[in-house]
């Protein structure tokens, strides 16, 4: 298994890059997607969130009101810490389970992790960072997610800086241009990725692929 870390700030278009890698054969383990699964109606994690942040976070269909939760935690550092303590361990357990399923394969496995710079992982074969200027990210968040400019900038300010993300990168993808340019960069990253050594196991040893 070749194990890539993929990260990028909010509004960077990381999900588009992830989809382009998947189209080339990568197995995607998406931290945000796992979070949504774990917070689905009826899941224990959703109950825990409601106990901490209030039952009003659950809408009439029994689903989590993500916008309401975001408005709480991004305005309150202590609430954000509590959210991370509740959610991150559960996500990590599920990501590790999915990685173990791939361990003995020769697949390129992509860990799609928004906060990789803030929470580094060991054992990766390489790290890919999707990068855009802050103004581009703000414009996309306003246009495509309906945020106000102030809200978008506040969200970005709470994440790692561009320089901090780029510092952990083995490859940087500039997603400030057209989709065709992005696709060309992803193809170059894919050709690089398939040449990487397999990921290290928990003891730090390289695990040979079949």
What range does the domain containing 59 cover? 35-105
Same domain, 172 and 182: yes
Q: Inter-axis angle of helices 66-73 and 77-102, to 10 degrees?
A: 120
In a domain, 209, yes or no: no
Residue-wise pLDDT tens digits, 83-125? 999 999 999 999 999 999 999 999 999 999 999 999 999 999 9
* Cα(135)–Cα(114) distance, integer angstroms: 19
In a domain, 206, yes or no: no
Mean of the pLDDT values across residues 175-181? Answer: 93
* Domain count within the chain: 2
**Cα four-point dihedral sign 27, 198, 201, 8:** negative
* Cα(181)–Cα(183) distance, integer angstroms: 5
171 membership: H or E segment, kind and range: strand 171-174
pTM over 0.85: yes
In a domain, 210, yes or no: no
């Amino acid at each position: 298994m070749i194990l890539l870390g993929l990260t990028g700030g909010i509004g960077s278009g990381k999900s588009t890059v992830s989809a382009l890698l998947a189209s080339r054969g990568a197995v995607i383990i998406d931290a945000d997607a796992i979070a949504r699964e774990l917070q689905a109606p009826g899941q224990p994690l959703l109950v825990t969130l409601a106990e901490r942040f209030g039952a009003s976070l659950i809408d009439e269909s029994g689903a989590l009101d993500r916008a309401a939760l975001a408005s709480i935690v991004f305005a309150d550092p202590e609430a954000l810490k509590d959210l991370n303590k509740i959610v991150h361990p559960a996500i990590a357990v599920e990501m590790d389970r999915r990685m173990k399923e791939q361990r003995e394969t020769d697949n390129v496995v992509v860990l799609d992790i928004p906060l990789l710079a803030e929470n580094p992982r060991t054992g990766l074969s390489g790290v890919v960072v999707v990068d855009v200027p802050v103004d581009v990210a703000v414009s996309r968040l306003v246009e495509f997610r309906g945020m106000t400019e102030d809200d978008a900038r506040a969200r970005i300010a709470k994440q790692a800086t561009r320089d901090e993300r780029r510092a952990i990168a083995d490859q940087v993808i500039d997603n400030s241009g057209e989709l065709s340019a992005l696709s060309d960069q992803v193809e170059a990253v894919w050709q690089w990725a398939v040449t990487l050594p397999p990921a290290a196991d928990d003891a730090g040893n390289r695990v040979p692929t079949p």
